Every structure is written in structure tokens, then in C-alpha cells.
Amino acid sequence: MSAQGGSELPMAMLLVFGTAKIMGEVFGRLRLPNIVGEIIAGVVLGASVLNWVDPRQTAELADLGVIFLLFRVGLEVKASDLVKVGRVASLVAVLGVLLPLAMGYGIYVYNGSNQIEALFVGTAMVATSVGITAQVLASKGLLNVRASRIILAAAVIDDILGLVVLAVVSSLAKGEINILQLTTTAGISIGFTIFVFSVGTKTMGRIIPQMQKRLRGGESQFSLAMILLFALAVFATYAGVAAIIGAFLAGVALSDSVSRRVHDLAQGVTELLVPFFLASIGMALDIRVLQNPQTLLLAAVITVAAVVSKMLGCGLGALSLGWPDARRIGAGMVPRGEVGMVVAQIGAGIGTVSQTTYSVVVIMAVMTTVIAPLLINVTFRSLGQMPVDPDDIPIRIE
């Protein structure tokens, strides 16, 4: 490999990490969410503006970034706290899937598209990119409040439901539906998640101390945590859910059994890699598609529908907790991020999603990711003045 070729990755890392951090600092000083600046840094570096970085150069770093982000979030919560809000979280997830799916489908059918393409648009509006919300809540130290716990639990359920919807829509596009395969995939996904939630923490509480006594290498506890992280990320993909859900469950399983040192090391790795994840979302956007007035209008309508449908659907699911928490949960479920773009890529690969629709979905995914932190800032702002609920007792972090 030539010296010039060997410098491509370090140069891309320098540009992405440095620009993202600078833009994040600028936005922070403007009292705006830092992550919005980091996403916009990706827009500037990508094909839309400067075209200095090819997203493929840092794609693996971006994938690792969101995996470590969800792992770190999992370390800060407990399985028992998520189980307590499971009933509400389930309702939030179900309504947060049905309403976006219906609105996306309805808008595209009204626009004159065929039903399969309309279903793909609705499906792209279903799944929440929990990494964005988790990053905002973690930066504000709000992972321990009831609304945040419901958002995290609902996002796990949302991912499973989104998987089932995507499988059904993809099967329809191919002209066949395998009920047995769909049922098996859903069952494995649910079983995997329940198993980790129910026995993961207790099991790790017994295994980690015993393993640590037998290991002589430095940072042995962190090494064990990394093995579990990557193992559950792999198992999650085989179970049919996203790798980030496995990473999150790994963090939850270890939350009671690892030292503060593991938290700190995970935080350090996360701080390094997350800017690549955030910038990758911005780099996926090509603003040249906005030059077409019809595409721009359709993208605006779909984006508004994506925000409203999650706010309304998830908010209604949490209405029993009161209007303030309902608004917070609705806002936290808004971002689609990379999840929406993956659905669009699948539709385009099958040949049922046009280039215009693909562009519309990417714009929706990026814009909801930018809008969500602003909504979270507004809806969580008064939380300090809220009466303390017994379920909102802060999670102790060693």
C-alpha cells in the first residue's frame, strides 16, 4: 500500500472527527444540541457541499459508534427499571408503529404511488433510531427518569415490530408471504430479548466476579464486557433484531456487575466513535435533490407526518402518565436516522422504491434526526420542576 493510500483513512478520520467536534461546540455555544452540529458537519463534508469524505471510508467506525453508544446507555440502566415500565412501553411502541405506517402509506397513495412503494415509505417511518435520543438523554444525565426508561424499552419493542413489518412488506413486494418464517423470526427476536432481560443481569453478576479472579491480563473486566457486547450484538442479528439492540442488552446485563472503571472506558470509546455515527447520517443526505420543487414538497410533507405521527402515536400510548411525560416520550421516539435509510435501501434493491422516493425517505430520516434533539430539549426542559414520582428514583451509578 502506498503512503498516499495509507493516509486516506486517517485523513477521513481527522476531517470527520475534527469537524464534528468543532460544529458540535459551535452549536452548544448557541444553546442548541451538540449532536445537531455533528450531523450538519456530515452534510458539509459529504457530497452535498464539500465532497471531502466518502461515507464508505468511515462506515465501519459509524457502525461501531452506535453500537458503543447503546452499550454505554445500557450500562446506566437496570433491567428491573425497564420491566416496570414494560406495559406502557408496549403500548407506546404499538401505537408508534401503527400511526406512522398508516400516515406514510396514506400520503403516498394519495400522491399517486403504487401500494407497495407506499408501504415501504410507511415502513421507513416506523422504526425509531434510539441512538440519537439516547445520546441526548445521556448528555443531559436524564437516563434514569421514567420517561427515558419508557423510551428505551419502547425502542426495543419498536425494533422487533419494525422488523416484522419490514419482513411482511418485503414479502409482499416479492409476491409471497411465508407465515412460518415471519412467526419464527418474531418469536426468536422476542425470546432473545426476554431471555437477556430476565436472566442476563443475575447471570453476569455471578460470572463476571468468577472470571475476573481467573484472568491475569490488564483491564480483564473491560475485556469480558467487550466479549459480551460483541457476542450479543452478533446473536441479536441472528435473532432478527438490530445489533445495537444486542449491544444495549449487553450493557443492561452488566449494569450491576462491572466497576466504574468499565463505565469510564466505555465512555471513552463512545466519545471517540459516536461523531462518526452522527456525521454519517449527515453525509447520506444529498441536498441537490431539493432543487426539484415537487420532491422538496413531498419530503416536507413526509417529514412533518413522521414527526407528528410519532409524537401523537407514542404520546397517546403514554397518556396515562400525564401530558408532560407523554410529550417527552413522543419527542424521544421521533428520530428515524439510519433505520429509515436502511428500509429505503432495501426497497430500492428490490426495485419497488424509485430514486425520488429514496431521496424523500433519506431527507425524512435526516431531518427527524435533526429535529428530535430540539424537541427533546424543549419537552425535558422543565423536568427539574416536576414532582418526584416513586418510580423516578434515580438509578445509582457506582
| Mean predicted confidence (pLDDT) in 218-239 | 91
Distance between CA atoms of residues 39 and 259, nearest Å? 32
Percent of the chain having pLDDT more than 70?
94
Angle among Cα 184, 187, 188 to the nearest 5 degrees reads: 85
> What is the pLDDT confidence band of residue 5, given thresholds at 50, 70 and 90?
low
pLDDT at residue 263 tops 80: yes
Neighbour-count burial of 82, counting CB atoms closer than 10 A to its CB (0-12 exposed, 13-18 middle, 19+ buried): buried
pTM for this one?
Answer: 0.83
pLDDT at residue 303 tops 90: yes
**Residues 122-150: tens digit of each pLDDT:** 999 998 888 889 988 888 888 889 999 99
Cα 394 to Cα 81, 114, 145, 213, 388, distances in angstroms? 10, 49, 7, 31, 10
In sequence order, what are the residues at sequence separation of 6 or more whose Cβ sits closer than 8 angstroms to the Cβ of residue 113?
Answer: 121, 357
**In CATH, what class is 3-382?**
mainly alpha
Average pLDDT, the chain: 87
Concatenate the DSSP letters of all residues of 28-84 into one string: HHTTS-HHHHHHHHHHHHSTTTT----GGGGHHHHHHHHHHHHHHHHHTS-HHHHHH
**Quick one: pLDDT at residue 16?**
97
**Residues 284-298: tens digit of each pLDDT:** 888 888 788 989 999
**Residues 20-37: tens digit of each pLDDT:** 999 999 999 998 889 989
> What is the pLDDT confidence band of residue 309, given thresholds at 50, 70 and 90?
very high
pLDDT at residue 394 tops 70: no
pLDDT at residue 333 tops 90: yes
| Mean predicted confidence (pLDDT) in 268-279 | 95
